Chain A
Amino acid sequence: MNKAAGTPVLRTRGLRKEYGKGEGLVRAVDGVDLDVSAGETVAIMGPSGCGKSTLLHLLGGLDRPSGGEVFINSRRIDNISEKALARIRRTDVGYVFQSFHLMEELTAVENVELSALLAGRPPRAARRRAEELLDQLGLAGRARFLPSALSGGQRQRVAVARALSNEPLVVLADEPTGNLDSAATLDVLQLFEELHGYGQTLVIVTHDARIAATADRLFSMRDGALVDETRLTGGTAGNLGALIGLEG
């Protein structure tokens, strides 16, 4: 299932997004060069207002840059027609948001199948795929529940299932643990580790160190620019005892 490593699924060059003009000019994203390989988990961390959510929107074609280029699987998407971009958003990108963005009047399985239906899949196939995904994510018994009957962690699982329903090239997550307590956060961390294990390419923007620590690579973002890159895989290979002061 692991796609060939090395080919960037996502690539940006000189990416910029500006708001306002003159004195009021805000450089939300200011010259970002980023390569994300297939199967890689990349986290982007920074304080609120550093531009990380804007960057994520540019990566997924939810917003257009003021300058620079965005490629998904070598295809440039920043200058294509609105119609072509909408298609990319539906088929190549999955989104996970802090506040889940589930339709409250639809059941879990209806939420998950919705994007497949919108992408023109036959209803039966869409339902089957949605049920499979909920199964895989440990929500088999909850498929007919409304979001209001689910815990925060379960709702985020439904949102992740929805993001996966069209087998996207990349899943983009914006503060996926932002609204969750400690136990539910662990649940979502586990889920992202599983996705990573399946070879799903993931980009997470967050200020939660816990989810950031699950990434292969971590960038710090300040004032619209990526300023520090950390590779988290490998590393110390823990002497966990040192963490609780029981040594010596």
Chain B
Amino acid sequence: MQQEIVLAMLAKEPSYGYQLRARLRDALGPLGDALNAGQIYVTLTRLEKAGLLAVERSADGGDRSDRKVYVLTPDGQQRVAEWIAEVNWPKPDLAEFHLKLIAASSAGLADPVTIVDIQRRELLRRLRDAQRAAMAEPRHSNAALLLEGVVLRLQADLRWLEACEKNWTHRRSGS
């Protein structure tokens, strides 16, 4: 789990671990099911060691992790502000697939069009899953918005596969 995400979820107010997890679940909807609570606590411990957050015990004492309240330190607040201002975007790895088609074709290992077909099936199944999940969410919820992004991205990938298919079909019949 990316450290900045956990920090940013604490920016609103000091929170118990379970509150933090609830906030993530609410923001991600069914996509948050992949989140592992253990990972979040590992990340919290690392952030504490790095001085980006501090731990306070709640009034009724005890050292159990569900009694800890996590608070951002000034350094942590600074880090969150930087992260919010950063411009970055996940890079889709298109080159790997592209090179796979080229290698398969040039070495005669497989028909690139068949590889495209198999890949398309997989993406269509993912699209179906994401759409089903989107339909199950209330129209303007956080999770619906995230799922719309997933759906649009898969659509873009499928359009590129269409272009791959056209191109490789053309090369095959041209040669």
Contacts and interface: CB of A to CB of B under 8 A. Distances in A.
Nearest to A240: B31
Contact of A240 (B30, B90, B158, B166): B30
| Residue from A189, A214, A228 whose CB has the most chain B CB atoms within 10 Å | A228
Contacts, number: 87
A4 interface: no
B169 to A, nearest CB: 7
Is chain B's binding surface mostly helix, strand, loop or mixed?
helix
A235 B32 CA distance: 21
A214 B125 contact: no
B151 A244 contact: no
Contacts of A244: 28, 31, 146, 150
Interface string B69-86: 000000000000000000
A186 B152 contact: no
* Interface bracket on A: 20 to 34
B103 interface: no
Given A232-B124, A243-B126, A190 B135 contact: yes
Interface of B: 1, 28, 30-35, 90, 117, 120-131, 133-135, 146, 148, 150-152, 154-155, 158-159, 162, 166, 169
Given A209-B124, A238-B126, A240-B30, 18 more contacts: A186-B134, A190-B135, A209-B127, A210-B131, A210-B155, A212-B124, A213-B124, A230-B124, A235-B128, A236-B125, A237-B129, A240-B31, A240-B34, A241-B31, A243-B150, A244-B31, A244-B150, A246-B34
